[in-house]
Amino acid sequence: MFHSSRNPSLARARLARLRPTQFSVGYAEVKQKAAQWERLGRKQLKTEIEHHVFPAVLGPGQEYFIVDRHHLGIALIDEGVQDVLVAVLDDLSWLEPPVFWRTMEFRSWSHPYDHQGQRRSYRDMPRRLTELKDDPYRSLAAMVRNAGGFAKEQAPFVEFLWADYFRPRIGTRMIKKQPRRATRDGLRLARSEEARYLPGWTGKAAT
């Protein structure tokens, strides 16, 4: 759950200029979302966009830093969408960048880990959504979740925790070349007792 210090206000922003707060996404999920939006007519697309608000924080340089929906943002850029609505959770534009990023992480508004699960400096954070790297394990986490491997949670960055769980246990080649087999293996791993510490776990711990 995202914690706001005041009631969010709505603003319209240029999609291509939104600042990310994470290093990577699962591009398989981006492609899936893009395909869903591509099937919509122009009128329906416009209506749906108005109902998909991006939670954001006003940060240094008076720029909007989105704290969720990075996959959707990239998918909409691919579909040629230019403007979206943002829900401004807080105004932290007066903070210096180091303090801003520490505050963002403290509030669970930033995930400073790259596509290999390694922690990175905020100075390396991509400036645009299209600069985010592909993490195939983030895609796998989404596929396993959609297959019922674990429950969807409101807490931020849950899929990244699951991605890190799968990272040493399933090869990237399998994810890319045999996604169905990787998903089956992911389901088995997700339901094991070993995964019981992860949010959304639906297996049964031994008594």
Whole-model pTM: value is 0.90
Going along the chain from its start, the domains and CATH numbers come out as 9-133 (3.90.1530.10), 136-192 (1.10.8.10)
- Render pLDDT for 102-134 as a digit per residue (tens, 0 to 9): 999 999 999 999 999 999 999 999 999 999 999
DSSP string, 171-185: -HHHHHH-HHHHHHH
Residue (of 157, 180, 154) closest to 67 by Cα position:
157
Q: How many helices (H) and strands (E) does the chain have?
A: 8, 6
pLDDT band at 206 (very low <50, low <70, confident <90, very high): very low
